[in-house]
Structures are given as C-alpha cells and as structure tokens.
Amino acid sequence: MSIKLNCDMGESFGIWKMGLDNEIMPYIDMANLACGFHASDALTMNKSVSLAKENGVIIGAHPGYQDLVGFGRRSIACSNEEIRSIVWYQVGALSAFCKVHDTKVSYVKPHGALYNDMMKDANIFNTILNAISSYDKNIKLMILSSPKNEEYATIANIYNISLLYEVFADRNYNDDGSLVSRSENNAVIHDEKEVITRVKNLKEKGTLNSVSGKELALKVDALCVHGDTQNALEFIKILRKEISV
C-alpha cells in the first residue's frame, strides 16, 4: 500500500510562529496550507507555497471557519452560501500564490471544526463539494477515512470530485470510525512505539484498531502527521522511513 505523509503547515501569523515548516517540509509528500481564516497571512502563504514547490510537495488548501482566536477549532453556524463563500475565498487566495509560483492547489482539506462538521453533517459535506466543483473539478477533497467511504464517494461522484482518504495514526478512533473527541483524555496517542505499530498495520493490512479494540478496515491515501508537537521532526523522519520501506 502506498501511503503519503500530509501535514498541516503555514500556520504562523504575523510575528507568531507555529511549527517547523522549513525543517519538516523535505520529509512530507503533501502540505495542507492554512489560508488566512484560522491561521496564516499573505506573507506566510507566499513563503509556504514557495517552500512546498522547492521541495516537490503537493499543495492542498486548508480552509477553516473565520476564527483566528480559536484557531478554527470552534464550530460556527453558517448558511450554505457562507460555507461556499469561505471555501472560495480561501482556496482562491492560496491559488493566487500558487499561480505566481507556477504550481497549483491539488486538493482541499478543511481545517479543524469545519473538517469535523463536514464529516458529521451531510449538508456541509455537500456544500463543500459544491464549492470545489464550481471552482475547479480537478481539485480533490480530503476526508477522514471511515467505514462509510463508499457513501461519501457516491455523493462526491455527483459533483465529479475525487476523494482522498486520510488516517490519523496518533488519534484514537471510536468503533464507528470517527475520531475520539479531543475533549477526552485518550483522544491522542502519545506513545511513539504504539503509533509506529499502527502505521505498520495500516501499511500491511489496511486496518486500525478502535479504542475498544475493534478492527477497522480503512482505505488510506494520506497519513496525517503533526509538525507542532514535541519531537515532531524526529518522529516524522521515523514515519517517513517506515512508510518508504
């Protein structure tokens, strides 16, 4: 199984710095670049696109709710028109920098609460697909891989949009394939050895165990890694080696 590493990046804002983008970019395949609503700014977006192109990394737009203070992790009640507009606004902004650097936005991965809401609410999922389809049908949508992949793919086909399936090796899953809420103490797996074992199972068997031990069969195109955690760089190097053998 071929698995790509993707990482949320370009999340600095003004003088506030987030992550180790320069150090991590050479070890990933796909960069989910913030577009200004939950993090980033014009200068950061420009630098991030340039850095991604320099390292041959596929660029994805990482749009979120307009929530800089909450880092896009708070749900905001929006109409369908508002959701379409915030997606167009953010993807369009990132696309402008990509055009300048002779590259492109290849996919969209909603950020934070917008990502979670998309996976729980069929209306929001359809609205984001509609926004991408009306902008550029060649752009793919990255979603959380789950036992419901076929259902999501059937809906995406209506909009002629291809899906990318993402798995989080360092997050615990519920039996239904959803992520354990970050409000729970066991949401994140901090044991690096356990995470590596989970990655091996994904690569060899295409499965991941839920928090209760249930085996989940998950299609995986991209494995999400985090660049803002302790020892992030060294751990990403280990995962890079693991999925490359």
Q: What pLDDT does residue 1 have?
A: 59
Domains of the chain: 4-167+220-237 (3.20.20.370)
Q: What pLDDT does residue 102 have?
A: 98
- Rounded to 5°, angle at Cα 223 from 219 and 224: 135
Q: 165 has which bridge partners?
A: 143
Of 196, 83, 173, 96, nearest in space to 132 by CA = 83
Quickly count: other Cβ atoms within 10 Å of residue 96's Cβ: 13
Please, what's the largest Cα pairwise distance for the chain?
48
Two structure tokens written together for 154 = 């059937």
- Rounded to 5°, angle at Cα 170 from 11 and 14: 10
Two structure tokens written together for 217 = 């069969």
Average pLDDT per consecutive 10 residues, the chain (245 residues; last block may be shorter): 90 92 96 97 98 98 96 95 98 98 98 95 98 98 96 98 94 92 86 90 92 94 83 88 84
Which residues have CB under 8 Å from 240's CB, separation 6+?
5, 27, 28
pTM: 0.94
Q: What pLDDT does residue 232 have?
A: 85
Which residues have CB under 8 Å from 230's CB, separation 6+?
none
Which residues have CB under 8 Å from 92's CB, separation 6+?
135
Q: What pLDDT does residue 61 have?
A: 98
For 171-175, the CB contacts below 8 A with 24+ separation are 172/210, 172/211, 173/208, 173/209, 173/210, 173/211, 173/216, 174/210, 174/211, 175/210, 175/211, 175/212, 175/214, 175/216
